[in-house]
Structure 1
């Protein structure tokens, strides 16, 4: 249920709004109504609504001023206007304030219901997108335990597609990193993106490049294999796609601060 606050200075209209609209059927909980903008702001401080329906022509603080003040304090609030003023300037200001709906008086309950149905659909969409972003973020961090935090949760809005593409690229790397000469070009071809764009996107999401991730995956696999004393180091090189043992030794030490032999000895 989404919470709604009404701001309307005419008592009869307030009562009509409260009683003539089946709010619960629309998925809305009516918090109550205020007779002016100042009172509405006080009510919002006590309990923040998801939706605000306000008249424009109220004494003191106008509805547009109320919306501007409310959005400054509560940026996520969705606002709808009920007005007897069919003037372009008011409509223009409403658009500037990102008002969802502009409903004209005299009040038509069916029109108002339709407007709130659209508002609820918009809130449902945003809620779903937030859940998807949070899930994508958790999944990405699970798959990338060394994630540097380059992309924080509150920065994921609008980045779901990028996160999904980065996850797809990571899946390709998890399958292919053991192949000799496996590189950025193979990952880009698999996900259907240019090498430059994919590398930039992957770094934006994870904080590291494709090539560095391939090396990391290889070194982590090598560390796992080194725990088995019966597996020869040259065999490990071959299994993770390295032809040169010196190159492998250098990469491993850079990753873990120990040579492969020193790392293995810590488990003996």
Structure 2
């Protein structure tokens, strides 16, 4: 079964989702239902869901901020958002965060079940692809002693090409990380690759996902700026492309183990 977590601040909506959806029929195990983004992040410290169903408008941390942090921590988690009509523009922004789907409120259990059924199909195919890839990798490793020098040269050349593409992508990110709207699709377009393939290449070469790399660049620049006491923390937040100081504080603390204020105090 696939594990799912709900984040929804309206109690009646949250309870309706828990009761009205036929979870077992969808091959889904409902982990729980929390009322804000921070509670969802706390849950991730205990157990990793396969799916997150989240509202956009929540206190403490909105759904888009929650998704961005979750993608930073666990890029394999697939996200679905609940959106009111007045939040439709936010729902469109969520597509840039590789949200799997979104459902408009007021909630319709039948419509949500259809979206969840599609999500389960996607996850099932991904599991099958990962299994097939592991089997293929094992077969390749077992045959490595028999590779010819020509084949090894081709493999080296291919790796060099991949490295150059990743270097181009990283340079584009370095040049544009201050843009608030910088997304994976922007970087993929710049180097002429699909988002999925570029993300795979970056992960293969650097060990981190694209979203993780963008966040890391922003946090490294923030750390540099924080050493200058003349620059206010809200100015640092704005310069690195963050619109929400709480989100910036959360991201910075994850990378450096201290809030921006605590980090700055070390250099005063």
TM-score (norm 2): 0.55
Residues 143/199 of structure 1: CA separation in 2 closer, same or farther (3 Å cut): closer
Q: Deviations over 1:150-174 (max 9, x none)?
A: xxxxxxxxxxxxxxxxxxxx7xx9x
Aligned to 2:66: 66
Please state how far the C-alpha of 1:91 moved relative to its aligned partner.
Answer: 2.3
Contact 1:100–1:119 (CA under 8 A) maintained in structure 2: yes
Rounded Cα–Cα distance in structure 2 between residues aligned with 1:103 and 1:14: 14
Q: Deviations over 1:172-223 (max 9, x none)?
A: x9xxxxxxxxx98xxxxxxxxxxxxx8865556899xxxxxxxxxxxxxxxx
Aligned to 1:2: 2
Contact 2:50–2:77 (CA under 8 A) maintained in structure 1: yes
Rounded Cα–Cα distance in structure 2 between residues aligned with 1:89 and 1:71: 20
Aligned to 2:134: 134
Please state how far the C-alpha of 1:145 moved relative to its aligned partner.
Answer: 3.2
Aligned to 2:35: 35
Rounded Cα–Cα distance in structure 2 between residues aligned with 1:120 and 1:204: 38
Residues 122/86 of structure 1: CA separation in 2 closer, same or farther (3 Å cut): farther
Rounded Cα–Cα distance in structure 2 between residues aligned with 1:145 and 1:203: 16
Give structure 2 stretches of 5+ with no counterpart: 161-268
Residues 96/41 of structure 1: CA separation in 2 closer, same or farther (3 Å cut): same
Contact 1:86–1:104 (CA under 8 A) maintained in structure 2: no
2:82 corresponds to 1:82 = yes
Aligned to 2:212: none
Q: Deviations over 1:27-78 (max 9, x none)?
A: 1110001011111110111101110000111122111111111111111110
Aligned to 1:112: 112
Residues 48/143 of structure 1: CA separation in 2 closer, same or farther (3 Å cut): same
Residues 22/201 of structure 1: CA separation in 2 closer, same or farther (3 Å cut): farther
Contact 2:82–2:102 (CA under 8 A) maintained in structure 1: yes
Aligned to 2:49: 49
Rounded Cα–Cα distance in structure 1 between residues aligned with 2:157 and 2:138: 16
Q: How does 1:81-230 map to 2 (within 5 A)?
A: 81-145=81-145, 201-203=154-156
Residues 95/132 of structure 1: CA separation in 2 closer, same or farther (3 Å cut): same
Residues 201/111 of structure 1: CA separation in 2 closer, same or farther (3 Å cut): farther
Secondary structure, in 3 states, of the residue corresponding to 1:116? helix
Rounded Cα–Cα distance in structure 1 between residues aligned with 2:76 and 2:61: 21
Residues 134/16 of structure 1: CA separation in 2 closer, same or farther (3 Å cut): same
Residues 139/206 of structure 1: CA separation in 2 closer, same or farther (3 Å cut): farther
Contact 1:11–1:35 (CA under 8 A) maintained in structure 2: yes
Rounded Cα–Cα distance in structure 1 between residues aligned with 2:88 and 2:117: 25
Residues 79/44 of structure 1: CA separation in 2 closer, same or farther (3 Å cut): same
Secondary structure, in 3 states, of the residue corresponding to 2:118? helix
The Cα RMSD (Å) is 2.5
Q: How many residue pairs are counted as aligned between the two chains?
A: 160
